[in-house]
Amino acid sequence: MPRGDIRRVREVNLRLGAALAEVEGLYAALLRAGSSRRRRRLQAELSRAAGRLAALAAAPSDAGPPVVRVRRSRWGRRRALAERGAAWIITRYGRGVH
């Protein structure tokens, strides 16, 4: 794989990791939220963050020729878990919660 392709893949993985960390942080805050107003706001933020994560995880890589998704690598497994987690959050809290 050419060096530029590796760099793009790393950038995509970093964006995916940042989106996953945002979802994890919002979910942790939601678990500790006290007031119902704060819970609703956090649920709405979590829903939007999960949507962004799902979009990032499902987006095809534009790093040259199509890459076959192999779930055996660490990043492949992490991406699959991110897709599953985002789908669960969207199902549980809804996409349009405000």
Strands, DSSP E only, in the chain? none
Q: Please report, in tens digits, the pLDDT of each residue of the chain (98 residues total).
A: 455 566 777 888 888 889 999 999 999 999 999 899 999 999 999 999 998 988 888 876 554 444 445 567 788 888 888 888 888 787 777 765 44
The domain tally of the chain equals 1
CA 85 to each of CA 60, 64, 92: distance values in angstroms, whole numbers, following the listed order: 18, 28, 10
Report the C-alpha dihedral over residues 16, 17, 23, 26, rounded to 10 degrees. Answer: -140
98 inside domain: no
Range of the domain at 28: 3-93
